[in-house]
Amino acid sequence: MTRIRIRLNGYANSSTNLGPELGDRVPPGQHLAKGFPVLTYGETPSVSPSNWQFKVWGLVQEEKSFTWEDFMAMPQTDFTADFHCVTTWSKLDVQWTGVKVTDFMQSIQLSPNAVHVMEHCYGGYTTNIAMEDFLREENFFAHTLFGEPLPPEHGGPLRLVVPHLYAWKSAKWINGLEFLNKQELGFWERNGYHERGEPWAEERYSSQY
């Protein structure tokens, strides 16, 4: 299996006292979490892989529906990536297994005017992401966390992980992608959070633009 270690840090962060090795991995205003906190707005949906369905619609040549078996038949990759929640906790070196977004996208034909994506989830959560942020090589759909099936509270059976943006873009219980010809706002983005959410630039709130 392919293994990918994602390092997205860029510069030393003088706002923490973490030392040179960690200072350039923990973005400004963040601290290291103990354990792996769970951050969910609302209930944790319960979905078994046998009932699970994933849909793609909007600006695609053909709307499509995927089963759990479809996802498991795609190339599988191990990832190690840092995870940054806008509420200021970060967790380094989270180990996941899943399907790269770019591998999944081999099964999709986008319309030429698709420039933005809405992530949809069981439970109704949504979050938006620009196409160039979505199609990055280090993004993936995860079904395994530290070698175990992804627990429901962390988004199992399947979640998206977008390591270069704050973790609210990493939709848990993801069940669909809607391709758009312009930006629309997801749940937190309509409720005061930044449309993009890049941790190194501290893009936290919509009041910043």
Ligand X SMILES: Nc1nc2c(c(=O)[nH]1)N[C@H]1C(S)=C(S)[C@@H](COP(=O)(O)O)O[C@H]1N2
Residues within the interface to Mo ion (CB under 5 A)? 39, 85, 167-168
Q: Distances from the Cα of 87 to the Cαs of 10, 99, 102, 167, in angstroms?
A: 21, 27, 29, 10
CB of 191 to ligand X, least distance (A): 11
User: Looking at beta carbons only, is 58 or 123 nearer to ligand X?
Assistant: 123
Task: Provide the strand spans (E) within the chain.
Answer: 2-5, 31-32, 54-58, 64-66, 77-84, 89-100, 116-121, 126-130, 140-145, 148-149, 159-161, 174-180
CA separation for the pair 126, 116 (Å, rounded) = 13
| Residue 105 binding: pick among Mo ion, ligand X, none (C-beta 5-8 Å cut-off by kind) | none
CB of 167 to Mo ion, least distance (A): 5
Coil vs helix vs strand at 71: helix
CA separation for the pair 106, 108 (Å, rounded) = 6
CB of 165 to Mo ion, least distance (A): 11
Contact footprint for ligand X (CB under 6 A): 36-41, 85, 121, 123, 125, 154-155, 167-168, 170-173
* Phi and psi based region of residue 177 (left: phi greater than 0; alpha: psi -120 to 50; beta: remaining): beta
CA separation for the pair 115, 182 (Å, rounded) = 6
CB of 84 to Mo ion, least distance (A): 8
User: Looking at beta carbons only, is 61 or 208 nearer to ligand X?
Assistant: 208
User: Looking at beta carbons only, is 71 or 90 nearer to Mo ion?
Assistant: 90
User: Looking at beta carbons only, is 83 or 104 nearer to Mo ion?
Assistant: 83
| Residue 121 binding: pick among ligand X, Mo ion, none (C-beta 5-8 Å cut-off by kind) | ligand X
User: Looking at beta carbons only, is 79 or 125 nearer to ligand X?
Assistant: 125
| Residue 201 binding: pick among ligand X, Mo ion, none (C-beta 5-8 Å cut-off by kind) | none
